[in-house]
Amino acid sequence: MNSIFNRDLWKEILESINSNGFRTLITAFGVFWGIFILVLLLSASNGFQNGVQRQFDGMSTNTVFVWSQTITKAYKGNPKNRRYSFNVGDAEAIRRNIKGLKTVSPRNRLGGWGGSTIITHEMNTGSYLVEADYPEILTQRSLKIKEGRFINQSDIEKKRKIAVLGWAIISELYEPGEEVIGSYIKIQGVSFKVVGVYKDVSINGRKNIDEQKNIHVPFTTFSQVFNRGDKVGFFMITGVDDIPITDVKEDILALIRKRHDIHPEDDRAVGNWDFNKFLQKFNQLFIALKAVSYFVGIMILGSGVIGISNIMLIVIKERTKEIGVRRALGAKPSSIRRQILLESLFLTLFAGMAGVSFAAFVTFLVNLFIDSKYPEGDAMLYNASIDLPTVGISLVILVICGLIAGFIPAQTAIKIKPIEALRTD
């Protein structure tokens, strides 16, 4: 009698819900629809988030890119509009002086920003971007070696003329079936031996296929062959996981300014792009999206709850006599209240779980459609899904809704006097 899991109590509840089945069904539809839309919206925003996050899959996102620009303030006898370059010493100084960094990668590029260089292999020619790197770049970018190997420490030390090609180059420079590993390519007339082929797994589909056509060579080899001395084009700096790079970025910039005699307030002399901050903005967008989903969903659910409350009120008016009889037979007000509350809770939960299931089914169909339409994963929506916490949260929302829906009818019901039972109509 006291437990909610009492068999007799549930029998009572099911009997009275059953006693007007069709109306119950129609009423429950409001809640079904509300939770259906709520879950669908949440899945969609999840899918959108997944789609965007997949673009950065495997990359170290706690990363800042730093490059040199024109100095805009005169300082220590140096004029403004001076050009300067980073050097290998900067990398050492950053590693030594700034705490909380995981990897500092000095990099160079041939062809400048967005430009490219003529590359030849036997009779074939193409124009590609050449990047000079240390082996550590593998921890920062999601390059997967498909064949051969990547640049290693001994390549750096011995300044070997080796190159690792993007997989998309192969079909353009090589004949079908031709052996790639061990072959030679010419970069500005200098021969490099190909030791590996990579695929950038953060890039999906054919949209950014050009990004898969870069050539990586050892940093030291590059500096020597192309006369860069100890100059560094730009740094890719990744912080340790629990310290946002955004927090230490200013220290890095200040250190560079100091090392190159730049005015401490010259904000434009050192260019930077903060990947971490960029993603935070994205995350804010997703949070906003989720908030809107919850808001809209709960509003719609609200009207469903009002529907249930309404119908329960009518049902109680119709059952006034029955409730009166129950009271006369010894039902306490609390047991009447509990029965009404549990009835509405049961209705809400049942309809709600049906809504969640239906939303999951629809999401499944949408995913199936997207996967078949965009097999290479170009779609913005990817793996739209309801996770367990979302189901948990919607369950909590439903329980609250059910109790709210039952509250007013329950209060009405316990006001019914047992005298009603004696009244003959």
Partner 1 sequence: MNIFKQNFKRMIEITDLHKSYPVGNRNLHVLKGINFTAQEGELISIMGSSGSGKSTFLNILGILDEGDQGSYTLDGTQIKNLSEKVAANYRNQFLGFIFQSFNLIGYKTALDNVALPLYYQGVGRKERLEKSLFYLEKVGLADWSDHLPNELSGGQKQRVAIARALASEPKVLLADEPTGALDTKTSYEVMDLIQKINEEGKTILIVTHELDIAKMTKRIVHLKDGVIINDERIEPIKALAHV
Stretch touching partner 1 by CB under 8 A, among 1-9, 28-36, 142-150, 355-363: 1-9
Q: Extract the tokens encoding 279.
A: 């993603």
Q: Which stretch binds partner 1 (CB under 8 A): 15-23, 99-107, 135-143, 356-364?
A: 15-23
Q: Enumerate residues 93-132 that contact partner 1 by CB under 8 A.
A: none
CB of 422 vs partner 1, minimal distance in Å: 6
SS3 226: coil
Residue span binding partner 1 (CB under 8 A) among the ranges 221-229, 247-255, 328-336, 343-351 = 328-336
When binding is defined by CB under 8 A, the residue of 5, 7, 123, 177 that contacts partner 1 is 7
262 Cβ contact partners less than 8 Å away, ≥ 6 residues apart: 71, 73, 75, 84, 256, 269, 270
Q: Is 81 one of the binding residues for partner 1 (CB under 8 A)?
A: no
CB atoms within 10 A of CB 19: 13
Q: How far is the CB of 36 from partner 1 (least distance, A)?
A: 30
Residues in 307-326 that interact with partner 1 by CB under 8 A: 321-322, 325-326
**What's the Rg (C-alpha) of the chain?**
34
Minimum CB distance to partner 1 smaller for 231 or for 417? 417
Q: How far is the CB of 6 from partner 1 (least distance, A)?
A: 9
As a whole number of angstroms, the distance between CA 127 and CA 254 comes to: 37
Q: Is 332 in the site for partner 1 (CB under 8 A)?
A: yes
Closest to partner 1 by CB, 144 vs 417, is: 417
If the CB atoms of residues 2 and 81 are measured against partner 1, the closer one turns out to be 2
Q: Which is nearer to partner 1, 227 or 334 (CB)?
A: 334
Cα dist. 96→67, 101, 103 in Å?
Answer: 19, 10, 12
Write down the least CB distance from residue 342 to partner 1, Å: 15
* Nearest-angstrom CA–CA distance, 194 and 84: 33
CA atoms within 13 A on the CB side of 355: 29
Q: Are 71 and 82 in contact (CB under 8 A)?
A: yes
For residue 259 the two structure tokens come to: 């090392």
Q: Contacting partner 1 (CB under 8 A), which of 85, 117, 246, 335?
A: 335
Work out how close the CB of 412 gets to partner 1 at its nearest, in angstroms, rounded to a whole number.
15
Footprint of partner 1 on 395-424 (CB under 8 A): 414, 417-419, 421-422, 424
Helix axes 245-259, 88-97, angle to 10 degrees: 130
Name beta bridge partners: 236. Answer: 65, 105
Find tokens 């006001």 and name the residue: 415
The one segment of 129-137, 153-161, 289-297, 332-340 that binds partner 1 by CB under 8 A:
332-340
| CA proximity to 384, closest of 42, 54, 32 | 42
16: contact with partner 1 by CB under 8 A: yes
- Residue 383 carries which DSSP code? S
Question: Given the rule CB under 8 A, which residues bind partner 1?
Answer: 1, 7-8, 12, 15-16, 18-19, 321-322, 325-335, 414, 417-419, 421-422, 424-425
